[in-house]
Amino acid sequence: MKKKYSFTCLISAFFLFIGTTVVTYATPYVYVEMGRSTLEFQRDYDWNLGRWQTVIKLAAYPGFVSGASYASDPIIGKYQVMYVPAHPTTYDYILQKEIAPGVWSLSNEASIISLAASGDPRYSTNYLRGTATALTIDFNAGSIQWTAVENLTSFVSNLPTSQVLRDFSNYTTGSLTFSFSVTDELKKWISSPSGSCIYKTSYWTTWSAGPVGVPEPQTWMLLIVGLAMVWFSRQRLKIVYAFR
């Protein structure tokens, strides 16, 4: 009886170890990594405020999907576009206030993030879509901070051979990281109101599905099986001691 109990404990410990390891270290969401493209900063004159302002044009030059969670997925090579629906062809965000050295707050508007067959998802076949708002831009680290991606929608029927889209369809939220190339010239241009009207730099984004660290269904199953076997082992142990 002791040998059987020891074996059951060993199996229980194995399931619990696998389950907790997956929860702690795994990233149970798929991702799409965007390719290098161009981020455009532009100076516009605000007639209402009577001053120049710096705007960001995310949709000016759409990026291409250069990588994904499946290396040969047909989503690779499609267009990635981010734009604010209220003014999709003019600008997307305005630099509002420098809240820390090199860090600016942005105008609070939600962007549509889309993977589509062409550079204008409004008149093209869409594959993936969500909404998120850019909060701040950091010219020290070269990054834009975003809210969580909400209303995540995967149009699997538009690209049925894409495993990436099928994986995205299991989620309704996601996350977006946005990095761009920072040079001393760009920093000088941002800090100088008399700089040229347009400045362009390269950028990279990664769009992921689901919050980090949330167990997948199979992970929950491993944990449940492990805990059930521990309970069963304890019950057997009580019975053994009862008959001694």
Residue 140: pLDDT band (50, 70, 90) is very high
Determine the pLDDT at residue 44: 83
Determine the pLDDT at residue 133: 97
pTM for the model stands at 0.73
Residue 234: pLDDT band (50, 70, 90) is low
The tokens for 54 are 């710096």
The tokens for 77 are 């090579």
Angle at 158 between CA 171 and CA 28, to 5 degrees: 25
Determine the pLDDT at residue 21: 45
> In the chain, what is the straight-line distance between the N-terminal and C-terminal CA atoms, in Å?
12
Is pLDDT above 90 for 139? Answer: yes
Determine the pLDDT at residue 2: 46
What H or E segment, with its residue span, contains residue 232?
A: helix 217-242
Least confident of 2-11, 91-100, 153-162: 2-11
Mean residue pLDDT of the chain comes to 80
The tokens for 197 are 């009207």
Whole-number Å distance between alpha carbons of 168 and 14: 30
Is pLDDT above 90 for 117? Answer: yes
Whole-number Å distance between alpha carbons of 139 and 104: 8
The tokens for 209 are 């599905």
Q: Identify the residue with better confidence: 113 or 239.
A: 113
